[in-house]
Structure 1
Amino acid sequence: MNPTLIGAAAGVVLAITALVFGFWGFLLVMVFGTIGAVVGAIVSGRLDVRAVVDAARGRRSA
């Protein structure tokens, strides 16, 4: 799947969620989707948690 198709599918899901469950349901889906994306990136190795924590603390990494 290419990124355009994934983005379009995510947009459709969020639009349906907003229509069915209202604003708070939409917001809850967004929060859980973001958490799932971060966990997936960590598990797949695309996100280095140590580098993120160091950047948040103001430390530079090589």
Structure 2
Amino acid sequence: MNLTVVGLAVGLVLGLTAAWGGFGAMAIVALLGALGALIGRFLDGQLDLSAIGRGARDRGPR
């Protein structure tokens, strides 16, 4: 499945959610979808979070 189909599916789900649940429900669906996508990319090994921890260690005490 290519990214165009995935984008279309996400747009349809968000549109239906907005139509029946309002903006608040659409925002929650979008937020949880983005969180799920980030977790999936991390578990697939496509997201490197080591830079976040390294940035705090490199600065050292102030």
TM range (shorter): 0.7 to 0.9
Q: Match for 2:12: what amino acid?
A: V
Pairwise CA distance, 1:39: 0.4
Q: Choose 1 or 2 for highest CA Rg.
A: 2
The percent identity for this pair of structures is: 37
Query: Gapped runs of 5+ residues in structure 2?
Result: none
1:15 equivalent in structure 2: 15
Deviation at 1:54, TM superposition (A): 5.4
Runs of 4+ in structure 1 off by over 3 angstroms are 54-57
Aligned residues: CA RMSD: 1.7
TM-score (normalised: structure 1): 0.81
Task: Write the letter of the residue equivalent to 1:45.
Answer: G
Instruction: Provide TM-score, normalisation by structure 2.
Output: 0.81
Separation in 1 of the partners of 2:29 and 2:9? 14
- Consecutive unaligned residues of structure 1, counting only runs of 5 or more, are none
1:44 matched to which residue of 2?
44
Q: Tell me the distance in 1 between the aligned counterparts of 2:55 and 2:40.
A: 20
